[in-house]
Amino acid sequence: MSSLQYINSKLSDAIYTLTVDEGDARTRLARILPEIKILSASSFPSDLQEDFEWVKSTIQRGVGFSPPDFPPPHKLTSIRNSTASKVIKRIVYIQDKIETQLTYK
């Protein structure tokens, strides 16, 4: 099980990429795919597991079929920009909740 500090670090890195990198929302989501794929929903607090599972499954749907030996796509063409924006919003929400839990422990 991942520690909350580790999860917070990975989500913070992802948010940095999502806010600073160039390109549309789908392109930026594709860049954070490796950060998101290594996290497991079961490692999150129970009240955030469903949110994270939605994020991860939505990103995976955007990738579609991708052979394991190939690099991730440069853009998630199977999802709309509006859906990508919702995913980004949910990632920020999850990271904020985790950071709050870390602060008040």
Write the secondary structure of 71-95 as one string of H (helix), E (strand) and C (coil). CCCCCCCCCCHHHHHHHHHHHHHHH
Distances (CA, A) of 71 to 11, 18, 68, 97: 21, 19, 8, 31
Helix, strand, or coil here: 70?
A: coil
Structure tokens that stand for 58 in this block: 């939505």
CA distance 4 to 45: 8
Boundaries of every domain in the chain:
4-103
pTM > 0.75: yes or no: yes
Give pLDDT tens digits for 42-94: 999 999 999 999 998 888 777 665 555 555 556 677 778 788 889 999 999 99
